[in-house]
Amino acid sequence: MSKVNVCNSVADDIKRHAYAFPTIEIYGWLLGYDYKDQLFVVSSVPCKQYKMQNQIIAEPSQEEVMEISKAIPRGIGIVGIYHSHVGKVFHSSTDNHTVKQFASVYPYFLSIVTNVKETKYYQLKDESVEEIKVKVSSIKVPQSIRFIAKAKINLPQGTELDIQTVSSRMREILESFEVKQIEYKQNLLSGSISTDKLEGNECFVRFSVFEDNLAKADDLVFTMDLHANICAQEKTTLSSIKPLMKQAFIDDMYYQLKNTIIAEGKISKPVRIEFLYDNVNWKFYVSKKDKESILSFLQLLEFRVEYFSSKNEKKRELMLKTIRNTKNNIEKEENFAKIAQIVEDLAKKI
């Protein structure tokens, strides 16, 4: 890769994170994309879930990596890591091993090490990890196109209603459906078109996915609104988006069902929370009937918002106030219907 670009707000946020914990190592994830033989780092996510953290080591939980991957748009991904050293900035043999592991999956993987006063950048070159020069500047994040599908399955009377049954049937129809045309910017684009550009924006594209069988009057109908956010580059085409969109719908289906509660034939679907965090659109699903998971999510969200770029100071303080008030209200509330309403109100506010 010929050039590595790091957003200046990312460089500032990494130093801010390290400054807040001067006596122990901190760790975090770099989010970005590669385009035209260049790597672009557009955001950073402080690690919250550690296996181990002290003065000489910071080892993150792998579960957090999976949670981050589910929450960010397609086209943006984890492209590197950062961590701090209490003393001298260097890349240890352990750090080299980590980069080589990640680089076997993503060759452009970047590692950043800082002690606040000094920051260095490392990347795998041939067989060894070497310090590199990067360009730190303002970077424009590709805007995302949001696809929304209303998926429906029919479950014959007597079918046991559980997460496994629903996910299996949903996956079948999502894998088999084909997008032949999409209404985009009031134009009808045929699925065979491969040259028309789709310029990235925040528009919504809606269509339906239905099970191809005749429903009976006593069937149980299960519906889901599935969301796929895909970052569009300069020459993104409909044909290139289609496989990404299908996989994104499947991933979103599993993410929702993980936070869906089915008990005694009744279904409690999760609340979708979406917000802009340091240049990237994030989405989360939160169960309305699991108080512990709601509070855990809010604690994690509060921690991350604390590391917003300073240029977003007003928005950061407003979000922190909203999240903390929500936490206090949920901690005092025992009625799940009211808890669900509190979470839904939070989703609207942020």
Contact 271, 336 (CB under 8 A): no
Residues 39 and 67 occupy one common structural domain: yes
Residue 310 has pLDDT above 70, yes or no: no
Q: Tell which of 218, 244, 268 closes a domain.
A: 268
pLDDT of 110 reads 96
Residues 13 and 62 occupy one common structural domain: yes
pLDDT of 130 reads 93
pLDDT 10s digits, 226-243: 888 888 776 666 677 778
Strands 135-137 and 3-7: parallel
Percent of the chain with pLDDT over 70: 82
Of 28-37, 43-52, 85-94, 180-189, the range with the lowest mean pLDDT is 180-189
| Separation of alpha carbons 114 and 134, rounded Å | 14
pLDDT of 183 reads 47
Residue 191 has pLDDT above 50, yes or no: no
Residues 248 and 194 occupy one common structural domain: yes
Band (196; pLDDT cuts 50, 70, 90)? very low
Instruction: Give the residues across from 23 on adjacent strands.
Output: none
Residues 207 and 316 occupy one common structural domain: no
What is the DSSP annotation of 147-200? Answer: EEEEEEEEE-TT----HHHHHHHHHHHHHH----EEEETTEEEETT--S-B---
- Mean pLDDT score, 299-304: 78
Count of structural domains within the chain: 3
Residues 155 and 131 occupy one common structural domain: no
Residues 88 and 213 occupy one common structural domain: no
Residues 54 and 96 occupy one common structural domain: yes
Residues 110 and 204 occupy one common structural domain: no
CATH number of the domain within which 123 lies: 3.40.140.10
Going by C-alpha positions, the residue among 42, 58, 72 that lies closest to residue 228 is 72
Burial track 140-155 (b if 16+ CB lie within 10 A, e otherwise): ebbebbbbbbebbbbb
Query: Can you state the percent helix, strand and coil of the chain, rounding each to 5?
Result: 35, 35, 30
Going by C-alpha positions, the residue among 21, 41, 71 that lies closest to residue 307 is 21
Band (187; pLDDT cuts 50, 70, 90)? very low
Q: Tell which of 253, 268, 283 closes a domain.
A: 268
What is the DSSP annotation of 263-288? Answer: ETTEEEPPEEEEEEETTEEEEEEE-T
- Higher-pLDDT residue of 66, 95: 95
pLDDT 10s digits, 48-67: 888 888 888 888 888 888 88
Residue 197 has pLDDT above 70, yes or no: no
| Separation of alpha carbons 189 and 181, rounded Å | 5
Residues 228 and 310 occupy one common structural domain: no
pLDDT of 279 reads 67
pLDDT of 61 reads 83
| Separation of alpha carbons 139 and 6, rounded Å | 8
Going by C-alpha positions, the residue among 300, 273, 269 that lies closest to residue 287 is 269
Residues 13 and 131 occupy one common structural domain: yes
Average pLDDT over all residues of the chain: 80
Band (91; pLDDT cuts 50, 70, 90)? very high
Going 31 to 255 to 153 to 164, the CA torsion angle's sign is: positive
pLDDT of 186 reads 38
Residue 90 has pLDDT above 90, yes or no: yes
Spatial strand order in the sheet of 27-35? 128-132, 119-125, 110-114, 77-84, 27-35, 38-46, 3-7, 135-137
pLDDT of 295 reads 83
Q: Tell which of 72, 105, 137 closes a domain.
A: 137
Tokens of 53: 């953290």
Percent of the chain with pLDDT over 90: 24
- Mean pLDDT score, 115-139: 92
Going 337 to 343 to 346 to 350, the CA torsion angle's sign is: negative
pLDDT of 213 reads 53
Domain containing residue 126: 3-137
Residues 263 and 275 occupy one common structural domain: no
Residues 96 and 166 occupy one common structural domain: no
Tokens of 139: 């970077």
Of 158-162, 255-259, 344-348, the range with the highest mean pLDDT is 255-259
